[in-house]
Amino acid sequence: MTDQQANSERLQRALGYQFADKSLLQLALTHRSVGGRNNERLEFLGDSIVNHIIAEALYRQFPDAREGDMSRMRASLVKGDTLAEVARELDLGEHLLLGPGERKSGGKRRGSILADGLEAVAGAILIDSDVAACRNCVLTWFRERLDLLSLDGADKDAKTLLQEYLQGRRSPLPEYELLGVVGEDHEQQFYVACRIAKPVLVVEGDGSSRRKAEQAAARTALARLETHGKSE
């Protein structure tokens, strides 16, 4: 197996889907900076199907929710920042195909490119299979975020609370770095660092997924900041 094939297999395991037509996956990962044949059409399709799947999930999960409530929750899940977060958790950036200029400017880490790539992958899964298979994948990618939602928004996750805490004090947003992954595929433990520039603070967190590790680190950082604020 070549390195390219191994990388493709690793990504497909992370996505939770094996492509029958591998060229669709390659097309979904190809940014427009590469040339005329790129992922923009798949992104267009993926944007629609992700919105549909999330809307349907919210409709079923919150039978008493009003239209406005569901619109608010859907917007929080399908906005670019959230899509980029999901893409990072899937390590999608390392598999994107970019033109020389985008590669040099750090395109694999750019939120808009990651978000577009994730939507393109969802579109590719839809074309390669059907709505049911695409739904299974998208709901798996968003499951933890869906589980954290509530109608009153009172139980915001730690990362959101930390971001709001820092924004309220005009401080730079936190940065998260994956430090390592330990264990077999079915029983992995992720270790993440959360770095804050002002006030200077570095904490670590761990969990059974990258998102859970980031949440754990954010909870620790928030607790430290709140304790520090009370002592001032």
Please write the tens of the pLDDT for every residue from 49-69.
999 999 999 999 999 888 888
The H helix count followed by the E strand count for the chain is 10, 3
Q: Is 81 known as a binding-site position?
A: no
User: In the annotation, is 56 catalytic?
Assistant: no
Residues 89 and 200 in one domain: no
Residues 31 and 112 in one domain: yes
**Is residue 155 predicted with pLDDT exceeding 50?**
no
Range of the domain at 122: 3-148
Which is catalytic among the residues 85, 102, 119, 128? 119
Q: Is residue 153 part of a domain?
A: no
Q: Is 116 known as a binding-site position?
A: yes
User: In the annotation, is 119 catalytic?
Assistant: yes
Instruction: State the CATH number of the domain containing residue 116.
Output: 1.10.1520.10
Domain count, the chain: 2
**Percentage helix, strand, coil, to 5, in the chain?**
65, 10, 25
Domain end position, chosen among 148, 182, 200: 148
Q: How confident is the model at residue 229 (pLDDT cuts 50, 70, 90)?
A: low
Domain end position, chosen among 123, 148, 173: 148
Q: How confident is the model at residue 220 (pLDDT cuts 50, 70, 90)?
A: very high
Tokens (6 digits) for 80:
């670019």
Residues 107 and 208 in one domain: no
Tokens (6 digits) for 19:
């492509």
Q: Is residue 9 part of a domain?
A: yes
Residue 166 has phi, psi (to 5 degrees) of -70, -40
